[in-house]
């Protein structure tokens, strides 16, 4: 078996070009040379916006860029000064703070002078209430409408009642978009967009499943980078083509026995948000400990495969209600146990993300229950998606070492 150190994916170059084209398109639209821009939450109705001809920008993607570029630590203060608590979503605070300061990582990365200005803001509370508060600030500040879907959460089952409620809200959003949309709503276009979104979802799921191979050809740290198109370009042909090529590359890496972590010894499931400003440090740290993070809840969240052109509104509603973050504690626990097994993870690392209670699942006893029911060693790591004050690398290193010793014992 050959080993490919770091699995330097050839797709990295294609990803860079794809994202550059996406942001160039948004920049052009913002300058008045293209269709109007709609802002959308990361698990909002992007398919509907695309089908009606909007260019779509995702503030959470911008938030992640603020974290990864380590600008967030400086920009959050701008939102705190406006009265937004230091305890709430650091995507929200770092993004609003960046807007107030007039800075964006898009300038350095893609040459955009500013974040593309929205014509309308569209949110879905399937992930949290914070997105509504976040978009409401922009609605007040920029004087543009914010429209939303209010989803039931904590679902054990995605019931027909819940689906019917959200489906009718999607149709209401369509009507609210109509006066500002660059083209009228056509059902044929929505069906095509849904079909493309579903196909990209299935391909993304297949890409993630490649990490079930032993050794894993890529890990969570690669996933957090290559998930960008499924977030910002789902519903487009470009996303489908991208993931088809990525899947082919991963299949070929698996066939050749390539590994992302040389000498892979431990396999771990990552539960919770990435720590965006620490991806490089943590990737190096885990690689040094011969540990592959093979699966995560977070990156699996954009497998929206329940979409079905044969039943567009209801299937969109079902897809967006089925996501992990919208589900009950019992569902989540069973989901993590199943995925850990499928990916051969010997333990589960919970990231307690201080400013995101919704993507943190370690606070109501789940780690202990998983350990007792599944015999899986667990670790709860303190940190945050964007706030650098919440994470200590050296302290975390020690705790991860102890966790890996438990994995070693469990294996013995
Ligand atoms: S899910 Fe968490 S990180 Fe995402 S927008 Fe909501 S509070 Fe912020």
Residue nearest to atom 8 of ligand 1 (CA): 89
Give the ligand 1 atom nearest the CA of 385.
3
Q: How far is the CA of 385 from the centre of ligand 1 (A)?
A: 9
- Average pLDDT per consecutive 10 residues, the chain (412 residues; last block may be shorter): 60 97 98 95 97 98 98 98 98 98 98 98 98 98 98 98 98 98 97 98 98 98 98 98 98 96 97 98 97 97 96 98 98 98 98 98 98 96 98 98 96 83
Beta-carbon contacts of 249 under 8 Å, excluding residues fewer than 6 positions away, are: 9, 10, 11
Q: How far is the CA of 12 from the centre of ligand 1 (A)?
A: 27
Residue nearest to atom 6 of ligand 1 (CA): 128
pLDDT score for 355: 98
pLDDT score for 407: 96
Q: Check residue 75 and report its DSSP letter.
A: H
CB atoms under 10 Å from CB of 381, counted, come to 21
Q: How far is the CA of 234 from the centre of ligand 1 (A)?
A: 20
Q: How far is CA 79 from the centre of its chain?
A: 23
pLDDT score for 318: 98
Q: Is 89 in the pocket of ligand 1 (CB under 6 A)?
A: yes
Give the ligand 1 atom nearest the CA of 325.
1
User: Which pair of tokens denotes residue 178?
Assistant: 């109509």
Beta-carbon contacts of 164 under 8 Å, excluding residues fewer than 6 positions away, are: 314, 317
pLDDT score for 412: 83
- Tens of pLDDT along 345-360? 999 999 999 999 999 9
Q: Is 134 exposed, middle or buried (0-12, 13-18, 19+ CB in 10 A)?
A: buried
Q: Can you tell me whether residue 375 is helix, strand or coil?
A: coil
User: Which pair of tokens denotes residue 206?
Assistant: 């297949």
Q: Is 326 in the pocket of ligand 1 (CB under 6 A)?
A: no
User: What pTM was computed for the model?
Assistant: 0.97
């Amino acid at each position: 078996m050959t080993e490919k150190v770091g699995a330097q994916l050839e797709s990295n170059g294609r990803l860079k070009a794809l994202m550059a084209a996406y942001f160039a398109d948004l920049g052009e639209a913002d300058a008045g040379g293209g269709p109007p821009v709609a802002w959308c939450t990361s698990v909002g109705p992007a398919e509907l916006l695309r089908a009606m001809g909007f260019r779509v920008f995702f503030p959470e993607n911008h938030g992640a860029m603020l974290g990864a570029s380590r600008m967030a630590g400086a920009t959050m203060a701008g939102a705190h000064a406006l009265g937004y608590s230091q305890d709430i979503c650091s995507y929200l605070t770092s993004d609003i703070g960046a807007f107030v300061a007039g800075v964006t990582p898009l300038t350095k990365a893609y040459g955009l002078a500013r974040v593309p200005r929205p014509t309308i803001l569209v949110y879905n509370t399937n992930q949290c209430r914070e997105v509504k508060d976040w978009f409401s600030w922009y609605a007040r500040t920029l004087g543009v409408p914010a429209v939303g879907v209010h989803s039931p959460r904590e679902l054990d089952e995605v019931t027909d009642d819940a689906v019917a409620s959200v489906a009718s809200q999607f149709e209401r959003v369509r009507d609210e978009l109509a006066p500002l949309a660059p083209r009228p709503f056509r059902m044929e276009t929505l069906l095509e967009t849904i079909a493309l979104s579903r196909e990209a979802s299935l391909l993304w799921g297949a890409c993630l499943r490649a990490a079930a191979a032993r050794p894993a050809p890529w890990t969570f740290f690669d996933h957090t980078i290559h998930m960008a198109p499924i977030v910002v370009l789902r519903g487009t042909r470009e996303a489908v083509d991208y993931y088809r090529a990525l899947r082919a590359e991963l299949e070929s890496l698996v066939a050749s026995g390539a590994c992302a972590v040389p000498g892979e010894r431990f396999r771990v499931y990552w539960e919770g948000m990435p720590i965006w400003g620490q991806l490089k440090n943590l990737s190096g740290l885990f690689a040094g400990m011969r540990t592959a993070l093979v699966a995560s809840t977070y990156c699996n969240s954009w497998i929206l495969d329940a979409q079905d052109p044969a039943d567009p509104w209801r299937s969109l509603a079902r897809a967006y209600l089925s996501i992990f973050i919208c589900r009950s504690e019992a569902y989540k626990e069973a989901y993590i146990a199943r995925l850990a097994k499928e990916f051969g993870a010997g333990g589960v690392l919970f990231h307690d993300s201080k400013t995101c209670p919704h993507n943190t699942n370690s606070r109501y006893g789940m780690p202990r229950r998983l350990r007792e029911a599944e015999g899986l060693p667990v670790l709860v790591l303190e940190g945050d998606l964007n706030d650098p004050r919440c994470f200590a690398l050296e302290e975390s290193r020690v705790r991860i070492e102890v966790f890996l010793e438990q994995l070693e014992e469990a294996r013995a």
